[in-house]
């Protein structure tokens, strides 16, 4: 596995997926980890406000910075390299699109997110991702 995508929404489940990827994947040749945060359109007041706000850098709105920070801290502590990405849209669709567009070999993701709907429909985003991609998806509980 060369490129591994890890969707991060700031949830405990997403952080467990980050730790799983950092600890368990590619001990002999570490994979290239990509952290992705997807901002759902209804959660951003306006796109211009989101992009104008200060986050990790000018590319990341505060909402993404807050969601990515625990994962960044965990990977930095483990000495694992990564790249950061942020997209706007429906999470499962954007995760699958990002994986295709960047040539990811696998996805490692948590089974429960932060959204209110995720509390009602456990793993709904994860299951939609599995249905939309043709690469291995590891779900971390």
> Would the pLDDT of 52 be above 90?
no
Tens digit of pLDDT for each residue in 107-136? Answer: 999 987 655 554 455 568 999 999 999 999
Which pTM does this prediction carry?
0.81
- Looking at the predicted structure, is the pLDDT value of residue 100 above 80? yes
pLDDT digits (tens, 9 = 90+) for 64-83: 888 999 999 999 998 889 99
Q: What is the pLDDT of residue 115?
A: 54
* Domain 3-140 coded CATH 3.40.50.620: yes
Nearest to 14 by CA among 67, 89, 53: 67
Residue with more model confidence, 62 or 105:
105
DSSP secondary structure, the chain, as one string: --EEEEE--S-HHHHHHHHHHHHHS-SSS--EEEEEEEE-GGGSS-HHHHHHS-SSSTTS-HHHHHHHHHHHHHHHHHT--EEEEEEES-HHHHHHHHHHHHT-SEEEEES--SSHHHHHSTTHHHHHHHHH-SS-EEEE-
- Domain extent listing, the chain: 3-140
Q: Residue 58 above 70 pLDDT?
A: no
60 versus 45: the higher-pLDDT residue is 60
Residues 6+ apart with CB under 8 A from 110: 7, 9, 11, 12, 13, 14, 15, 16, 17, 126, 139, 140, 141
């Amino acid at each position: 596995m060369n490129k591994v995508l890890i969707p991060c929404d700031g949830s405990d489940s997403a952080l467990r997926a980050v730790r799983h990827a950092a600890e368990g994947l590619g001990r002999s040749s570490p994979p290239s980890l990509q952290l992705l945060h997807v901002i759902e359109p209804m959660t951003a007041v306006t796109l211009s406000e989101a992009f104008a706000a200060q986050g990790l850098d000018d590319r990341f709105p505060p909402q993404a910075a807050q969601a990515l920070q625990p994962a960044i801290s965990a990977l930095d502590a483990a000495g694992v390299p990564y790249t950061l990405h942020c997209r706007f849209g429906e999470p499962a669709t954007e995760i699958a699109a990002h994986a295709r567009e960047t040539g990811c070999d696998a996805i490692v993701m948590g089974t429960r997110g932060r959204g209110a709907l995720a509390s009602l429909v456990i793993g709904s985003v994860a299951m939609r991702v599995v249905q939309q991609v043709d690469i291995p998806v590891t779900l971390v509980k």
